[in-house]
Amino acid sequence: MIGKAQGPPISITGLGCHVPDRVLTNDELSTIVETSDEWIMERTGIRERRIAAPEEALTDIALPAARAALAQAGVEPRDIDLLICATVTPDMMFPTASALLADELGAPRAAAYDLLAGCTGFVYALVQAYGMIAAGLSERALVIGGDILSRILDWSDRSTLILFGDGAGAVVLEKVDHGGFLGFELGADGGGGIHLSLPGSGSRRIEDASANGYVHMNGREVFKFATRVLVSSARAVLDECGVGVEDVDVYVPHQANVRIMDHAVQKLGIPRERMVVNVDRYGNTSSGSIPLALADAAADGRLTEGKLVLMTGMGAGLTWGSALLRWTEPKAA
């Protein structure tokens, strides 16, 4: 799916994020599985990640992110009429994380549902919220992306354990006077889905009980896929919107692996300093990755009025998606 934004300008008017307190370093990981700080840094650029406490579930880390986004937008929870939570690690399949969050926030008017699109979930959810507002169905949407991937990892599998971390982010979407989203591109390839899967997590019975409930990944295949789609999806949305790559001020790729991101900037021809990188501190937080990176860019003063922001996510499904946005200063800033 690809499209240029039509109709009234719609933008992010509030942004918030939250990560668990517990920091897990590469050195500490090397006491759990056979690995080393040098290997992880060289192959991924990840130095440490956050891990949720045993008693924390997704809604516990998503709630502070949502509250921060609402506060920045100056929006009361009761005025939210759409709440989408992109996650592959809800507290449970039902009640959904979004229904629980709407209740905890005090948003009884909100249509609330979870969205499953792997690490691309946040971008998919942005597009849905945009579409609902553009169609006049929603006035104010809260889009949350977050995951507690540490809960679905096999802690004896070094190939996945080193990559992922826990975190959440949230944004408020509303109509604005100018700027906002310019266009989107979304895609999926279920044929490649086998390279990044969670066997035993649904109605498909799995014979090998030991494989159940943990992330399985063919790292080399996912690497090839990721390097390809980060470039093709970004080019597609830029072309669709008639925008040159040189106009991109802030590039926010999914934070999976610094080598994948470096490959993308080189191929696209985006100066590296325009790319937001925080994978070193958080690892791959799945649906939390792009909002956490946006929050870092905002904190660094890189997200100012009128800046052109390119976001591209990719992940399980396999899925990918890009959004192009002319940044508007949050109302309460």
Of 130-189, which residues contact ligand COA (CB under 6 A)? 158-159, 162-163
Question: Is residue 257 a contact residue for ligand COA (CB under 6 A)?
Answer: yes
For ligand COA, the binding residues in 39-68 under the rule CB under 6 A are 39, 43-44
Is 18 in the active site? no
CB of 44 to ligand COA, least distance (A): 5
Choosing from 35, 89, 233, 319, the residue that interacts with ligand COA (CB under 6 A) is: 35
Residue whose CB is nearest to ligand COA in the complex, by number: 219
Q: Which of 119, 195, 241, 257 is catalytic?
A: 119
26 is catalytic: no
CB of 217 to ligand COA, least distance (A): 6
Q: What are phi and psi of 125, to 5 degrees?
A: -65, -35
37 vs 103, beta carbon nearer ligand COA = 37
Contact 180, 9 (CB under 8 A): yes
**Total residues binding ligand COA (CB under 6 A):** 19
Q: Tell which one of 13, 98, 284, 285 touches ligand COA (CB under 6 A).
A: 284
282 binds ligand COA (CB under 6 A): no
> Given the rule CB under 6 A, which of 37-45, 72-80, 182-190, 200-208 is the region that contacts ligand COA?
37-45
State residue 322 phi and psi, 5-degree precision: -130, 150
Whose Cβ is closer to ligand COA: residue 308's or residue 311's? Answer: 311
Q: What part of residues 289-328 is at the interface with ligand COA (CB under 6 A)?
A: 315
- 119 touches ligand COA (CB under 6 A): yes
Q: Give, as ranges, the residues between 213 and 242 that touch ligand COA (CB under 6 A).
A: 217, 219-220, 222-223, 226
Annotated catalytic residues are 119, 254, 284
Residues found near ligand COA in the complex (CB under 6 A)? 35, 39, 43-44, 119, 158-159, 162-163, 217, 219-220, 222-223, 226, 256-257, 284, 315
